[in-house]
Chain A
Amino acid sequence: MAKLTLKERFKKVSAGSGDAARASKFATSIFRPGSPFRKGYSDSPRNRSYVVMNNVLYHLHPVKVKRHGVRLSYTLCLGGMSFFLFIVLTITGIWLMFYFRPTEMAYADIQALQTSVAFGSLVRNMHRWGAHLMVLVVFLHMSRVFYHGAYKAPREFNWVIGVILLFLTLFLSFTGYLLPWDQLAIWAVTVGGNMASYTPVFGAQIKFGLFAGLEATTATLLRFYVLHVLFFPFIIVIFMAIHFWRVRKDGGISGPL
């Protein structure tokens, strides 16, 4: 027997499997025309367009993109990674909220999460390392955009939005830093808050507003918690929507160099 390529083998295995299910009324009610999950999908230019057009999530993309833009070496997928990490952080963050109270119980809750909740430690680690990674990736994304000169007309304002997104990312990370309520958290945030207090004229007021008092207490914890899980995510999602929308309105990816 002739040796099959991987593609042929896949076709042989998958031929007919699930066809009845994929052709069922139930499946066709879920997957819109052009979906690869629908029966009768074939690789045609029309279906390639439908895949994007007929799906609310993929619709973030245009149907066609510049050929040089899909090279991994051009974007390094850094913008997409930032967004993906944000999604991962949202999901793990919501999961962590089930086990966390922003009170004097916070530290005990984190300990309980690590010791007596299934996958608690893993999810907490993912949230923390993912957050550090996101700061890094967003920064690298900015550097990539700079080195490609991608902030130039007509993309000037999207760069401004991007800088705001970088700062929002930093704020998100910083407000989350306090939540474990251990010595690392409280003193890192104290240092950060002291930096903010050097602001001319309003320094003391800014620190007071940030800490909900003169120093980091459980009131600060509650304040940072609300900022972290509600306020900044809300703001950053708005700016991300503008950012993604502007990418397309400004003519897609920049370049080629």
Chain B
Amino acid sequence: MVDIPEHLLLRSAEARAKALGITVEQALAEMKGESAPTVVDDEPEVIEVDLPTPVKAEAPAPVETPKVEEAPAKAEAPAPVETPKVEEAPAKAEAPAPAKAATPAPAKADTPEEVDFAPEVKVTQRLLTVVKAKPIQKAASEPVDKVNTWPHLMLPEFISLMAMMAFLILLSAILQAPLLEEANPNITPNPAKAPWYFLGLQEALSYWDPQIAGVMIPLVIGLIGFAAIPYIDRNKENNPSKRKYAIMMYTFFLAGAGTLTIIGVLFRGPGWNWTYPWIDGIWFDDLLDWIYFE
């Protein structure tokens, strides 16, 4: 047995003594196993009403009869515990149950139909409505057909990356990036061209006022206009056949920007005059090593 500290034992003995109405010493002795535990039978009896011999049914009631010889030594006179005076404890199985318990039992056993298990319960419910069984929360979205990211997404992704890497290395091995003479602010090349992605803009600059072409187009159309697209286009459809106007507008933009860029890259020569690349050659240094028309 685990050693229980004395003060804890004492505390629980006090609690037990208070609960059972016995002395602390008695409780302590019981807990230490020096005396048989006191039994209080004021708990409600479980009565098996349909048994013909209720006395037998109660026979195994936990009547751990303390020895009469030992009991007086503990001075348990004030205890309300009914300690049945039985001569021999082992015979308790055959012995009749404590008188208190035995007396009401036969009466109930005789009239089992009168047993009222819950006399206070009256039938008070009535049918108000019938509520269909359905979940309280409604799923917001339909279940979608999904696949595992690994391997169905990551494998094609990896292959794409490798293909792109191979393409880039091959391109870099074949095409030399341009490097002209050292920068010289005193020698202006003719024409001086911006990077290719700005050449559409530079081309537009040759048509319109610089404040329109150089500022309004990139800033108002390019940045603000493009960022505002989702707030302008309130059409919820994403099927191309149901958003023909938006697609048409974007395609116009693509075609316009593409045309301007191609003109700027290939068809503009000295003095920003119109040239044909197959006649006058390329006037765009980034492309010089790529394409030869001669």
> What residues of chain A have their CB less than 8 Å away from a CB belonging to chain B?
45, 48-49, 51-52, 58, 61-70, 72, 77, 80-81, 84-85, 88, 107, 110-111, 114, 121-126, 128-130, 132-133, 135, 139, 142-143, 146-153, 155-156, 159-160, 163-164, 166-167, 170, 173-174, 177, 180-188, 190-192, 195-196, 198-200, 215-217, 254-255, 257
Contact = CB atoms under 8 A, between A and B. Distances in A.
Contact of B147 (A70, A81, A107, A255): A70
A150 B164 CA distance: 25
B146 A67 contact: yes
B198 A187 contact: no
Nearest to A155: B230
Contacts of A156: 230-231
Interface in B149-207: 149-154, 156-157, 160-161, 164-165, 168-169, 171-173, 175-185, 187-189, 192-198, 201-202, 205
Interface string B18-51: 0000000000000000000000000000000000
Q: Nearest 7 pairs between A and B by C-beta? A: A149-B238, A125-B172, A156-B230, A198-B214, A186-B183, A198-B210, A51-B150
B153 A107 contact: no
B211 A216 contact: no
B215 interface: yes
Nearest to B151: A48
A143 B257 CA distance: 13
Contacts of A147: 240, 247, 250
Interface stretch (B68-76, B107-115, B119-127, B221-229): B221-229
Interface of B: 144-154, 156-157, 160-161, 164-165, 168-169, 171-173, 175-185, 187-189, 192-198, 201-202, 205, 210-211, 214-215, 218-219, 222-223, 226-227, 229-231, 233, 235-240, 243, 246-247, 250, 254, 285-286
A88 B193 CA distance: 27
Say what secondary structure dominates the interface of chain B: helix
A171 B214 CA distance: 16
Nearest to B238: A149
Contacts of B231: 156
Contacts of A69: 153
B150 A52 contact: yes
Contacts of B153: 61, 65, 69-70
Contacts of A215: 185
A210 to B, nearest CB: 14
Contacts of B149: 48, 51-52, 58, 61-65
B198 A174 contact: yes
B182 A107 contact: yes
Nearest to B174: A125
A67 B146 CA distance: 5
Given A66-B146, A129-B171, A182-B183, A187 B151 contact: no
B168 A64 contact: no
Nearest to A106: B183
19 contacts: A63-B148, A66-B145, A66-B146, A70-B147, A80-B157, A84-B164, A122-B169, A126-B169, A129-B177, A132-B286, A146-B246, A149-B240, A159-B229, A160-B230, A173-B197, A195-B194, A195-B201, A199-B215, A255-B238
Contact of B175 (A48, A125, A150): A125
A170 B196 CA distance: 11
Secondary structure dominating the interface of A: helix
Contacts of B184: 183, 186
A186 B246 CA distance: 39
B233 A152 contact: yes
